[in-house]
Structure 1
């Protein structure tokens, strides 16, 4: 069980790096101000890491969509959608607060829905290929091969 926490922390960190770069670039592009993008990206590092970790722990407890071999593209899609709802709401509120303009928050949030869902799905699929923190899945794979 302790190893899954390490996995979730590692996934949190890798996703946050990808997500922060995306947010900074989108915010800079939409506002035309690199400083706004940097402020939003840095603010999100704190809020999103906590929210992502909690989301990952919650999904670990939900067993829906797990197949016999542990893979489930539908499960990854469902995680993508639920995370995107949480993440986009956080981004829109932070962007509004940082820029002082609710329309800016809305614009950044709406563009981010598309880019982040694609990036997150790819992140989930990539992490599925790694057994880090999943001793039980490693054992199951060995049993199925025999």
Structure 2
């Protein structure tokens, strides 16, 4: 089975909407907790930059994984494939979040906290998103 580019695009958009909300909320709580003069623009800009960069990266991550047949059995995708995709995505995503948060906040403690919280819930969010999309047949083609 192979997935179409349209499926990858829609999957990217759906995941990045969830990701934007996640990154914004984490950034909001970390920065508001650690700042005396809290302003919601910093968490918003962190989430916005992360949203844009991860939108592009996520799409290519999906397309690269589409090249590999590992874990695909007769129109089904095994859980281990979803797990490995979650790990490889988390590596790329955490790097993007670290660079973006550091660029916006210039505060290493906030940046580390944002990345750590994102790692903690990001793998689970990604895995659930993968499993939901694995139940949707639209955009899949047989080889």
Fold conserved between structures, TM > 0.5? yes
Q: Check whether the contact 1:20–1:41 (CA below 8 A) recurs between aligned residues.
A: yes
* 1:74 correspondence with 2:90: no
For CA contacts below 8 A with separation 6 or more, give which structure has more relative contact order: 2
User: Secondary structure of the residue that 1:63 maps to in structure 2?
Assistant: coil
> Matched residues in 2 for 1:104 and 1:110: separation?
10
Which residue is 1:17 aligned to? 17
User: Secondary structure of the residue that 1:132 maps to in structure 2?
Assistant: coil
User: If the length of structure 2 is used for normalisation, what is the TM-score?
Assistant: 0.89
* 1:114 correspondence with 2:120: yes
User: If the length of structure 1 is used for normalisation, what is the TM-score?
Assistant: 0.88
After alignment, is 5-14 or 99-108 more displaced?
99-108
User: Secondary structure of the residue that 1:90 maps to in structure 2?
Assistant: helix
- What value does the CA root-mean-square deviation take over the aligned residues? 1.8
Any stretches of 5+ residues in structure 1 without a counterpart?
138-146
- After the TM superposition, which parts of structure 1 deviate over 6 Å for at least 4 consecutive aligned residues? none
Q: How many residues align?
A: 137
* 1:131 correspondence with 2:133: no
More helix by share: 1
